[in-house]
C-alpha cells in the first residue's frame, strides 16, 4: 500500500458503520425521550401542589439528563473516531517525513550517477 502505514480500510469501514448505528440508535432513543419531555410540559403546568410539582420536575430533569447522556455518548464516539483518524494521519506524516529524509540522505553527492563527471 505504499506509504500508508498501518492503514486498514476495512477497520475504518467497520468503525464508521458502528458509529452510524450508534447515531441511529441515539436518534431513536433521543426522539422517544424528547417526545416524553414535550408531553410532560402540559402536565407540569397543570400541577398546583408544590410537592407534586417538585416530584414531577425531578422526573422531568431525569429524562433531560437521559437525553443529554445519549448525546454525550455519540459525541464521545465521534471524538474517538476523530482521534483515531488524527493518530493515523500523524503516523502517515511521520512515515512520509522518514522516507523523504532517507531519500535525501541516502543519495551520495559525489555519486557517479548524479555527479558532474557523468555529464558529457
Query: What's the pLDDT score for residue 51?
Result: 94
- CA angle 16–21–26, rounded 5-degree value: 125
Q: Rounded mean pLDDT of the chain?
A: 78
CA atoms within 13 A on the CB side of 72: 6
DSSP per-residue letters across 33-59: HHHHHHHHHHHHHH--SHHHHHHHHHH
Condensed to tens digits (0 to 9), the pLDDT of residues 72-111 reads 888 888 898 888 889 888 988 888 888 887 877 776 555 5
Q: Residue 43: which residues within 8 A CB-CB, separation 6 or more? A: 56
Of 26, 75, 1, nearest in space to 10 by CA: 1
Query: What's the pLDDT score for residue 111?
Result: 52
Domain boundaries, the chain: 50-105
Amino acid at each position: 500500500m505504499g506509504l500508508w502505514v498501518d492503514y486498514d480500510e476495512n477497520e475504518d469501514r467497520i468503525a464508521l458503520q458502528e458509529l452510524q448505528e450508534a447515531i441511529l440508535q441515539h436518534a431513536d432513543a433521543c426522539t422517544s425521550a424528547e417526545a416524553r419531555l414535550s408531553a410532560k410540559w402540559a402536565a407540569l403546568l397543570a400541577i398546583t401542589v408544590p410537592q407534586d410539582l417538585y416530584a414531577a420536575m425531578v422526573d422531568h430533569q431525569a429524562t433531560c439528563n437521559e437525553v443529554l447522556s445519549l448525546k454525550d455518548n455519540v459525541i464521545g464516539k465521534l471524538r474517538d473516531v476523530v482521534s483515531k483518524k488524527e493518530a493515523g494521519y500523524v503516523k502517515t506524516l511521520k512515515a512520509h517525513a522518514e522516507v523523504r529524509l532517507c531519500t535525501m540522505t541516502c543519495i551520495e553527492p559525489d555519486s557517479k550517477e548524479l555527479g558532474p563527471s557523468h555529464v558529457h
